[in-house]
Chains A and B, each alone.
Chain A
Amino acid sequence: DTAVSQTPKYLVTQMGNDKSIKCEQNLGHDTMYWYKQDSKKFLKIMFSYNNKELIINETVPNRFSPKSPDKAHLNLHINSLELGDSAVYFCASSQDRSGWYEQYFGPGTRLTVT
């Protein structure tokens, strides 16, 4: 069974469009994250939710809006896509918000904006 799953795996879209990425974890974890990995492989945290509550919101354009309908799901909606949004987006989860436990990453969603 996949612990952290993301859909879609690949997303190719044009500038100005709106798109969503979905994430689900079946580990029973309280905390979920969105990371952005650029072409140089830098992993940068974007958002974190703990039991559906937003706890980390890094300096991310407000075109990015996360939503957590329940603690097993964390979705990412992006409005008015720009070329610079092209990256791999990873969802992750951990047992709780302490940072003391392993983060389990999903397989990533490669977003290409043309």
Chain B
Amino acid sequence: GENVEQHPSTLSVQEGDSAVIKCTYSDSASNYFPWYKQELGKGPQLIIDIRSNVGEKKDQRIAVTLNKTAKHFSLHITETQPEDSAVYFCAAHNFLKTSYDKVIFGPGTSLSVIP
């Protein structure tokens, strides 16, 4: 089955700097890669996603890149702000496997933005 690894597990950056979180996956057939942000005391919330026919996607200060050959994808946050402090989860899914419809989450990265 699919396995998703995520690095680093914790990340501290100064406000205004960039943050990068990297994930790798094992199933080359995976074709959907969402990123979720979990603030303290809340449930995870989707912030951006990318599908396998796209190499990069950007939404204001966040961007995600996908390298299908290497089976890795990354989240980039620019001009970080204190409200970006949260746990970030990457995930992978192969929606063609109709018998096993689940998204596999990475272990999470705790991001702290220091004012």
Contact = CB atoms under 8 A, between A and B. Distances in A.
A11 interface: no
A45 interface: yes
B43 to A, nearest CB: 3
Contact of A100 (B32, B43, B89): B32
Nearest to A92: B43
Interface in A16-63: 31, 40-43, 45, 48, 50, 55-56
Interface residues of B, number: 24
Interface residues of A, number: 23
| Residue among A40, A43, A55 facing the most chain B CB atoms (10 A cut-off) | A43
Interface in B78-105: 87, 89, 93-95, 100-103, 105
Contact of A105 (B43, B87, B108): B43
